[in-house]
Structure 1
């Protein structure tokens, strides 16, 4: 299980880092670079066993709030192949990315909590 968590965290370190890079063409790029930067740093610190479970739960909660805040008024999907057609699609992408980050951070928190016992 520990090997799986290391591979999982390594994969999400790369994915969150990639998400930071592709934000440069976004209208609110610096905000999302910061958000995904936090997720990337949390993934790195999980690999290094440097944070307490409580910290991951707080960060996961933060990303859940972001998911709620960015949820579009009318969900139109995420349509990755056609660029940003509407604001609802962009908000759907931002909300989905926040939800993925929240789930990953909660997994880190649970794993850290049970590894300390």
Structure 2
């Protein structure tokens, strides 16, 4: 089994779990769709297909979205998570900080495929 198959296969499963956990979110249609797109590109990567322009758009959109949600809340979020010792949602900026990290994870997972796409 090649690295691509293991790497992208693992991320298909993880993104499917992430999408499942979004169903109790205040805006599940947005986040299930975002993780669905990540699953599609991971399935393409699993097959060795790296579409240059669509992959570039996804990575750019995730970076812009992560920067938008970041907005200085992440430091506050981390300290509150440590203090409360659970994952319950206490306020909106905690939700936005978590969403920021989700978008960054998608970006980081897609970068190897993006590099392959641009090398072709």
* Structure-2-length-normalised TM-score: 0.83
Once the two structures are superposed, residues 55-107 of structure 1 have per-residue CA deviations (whole angstroms, 9 ceiling, x without a partner) of: 22221111111101212443212838331112111111000000110111121
Q: CA RMSD in A?
A: 2.1
Q: Does 1:83 align with 2:82?
A: no
For 2:48, the equivalent position in structure 1 comes to 49
Structure 1: tracts of 5 or more residues without a match = none
Checking the alignment, whether the CA contact within 8 Å between 2:5 and 2:47 is kept in structure 1 is no
Checking the alignment, whether the CA contact within 8 Å between 1:57 and 1:105 is kept in structure 2 is no
- After TM superposition, give the deviation of residue 15 of structure 1 in Å: 0.8
Higher RCO, Cα 8 Å, sep 6+:
2
* Structure-1-length-normalised TM-score: 0.84
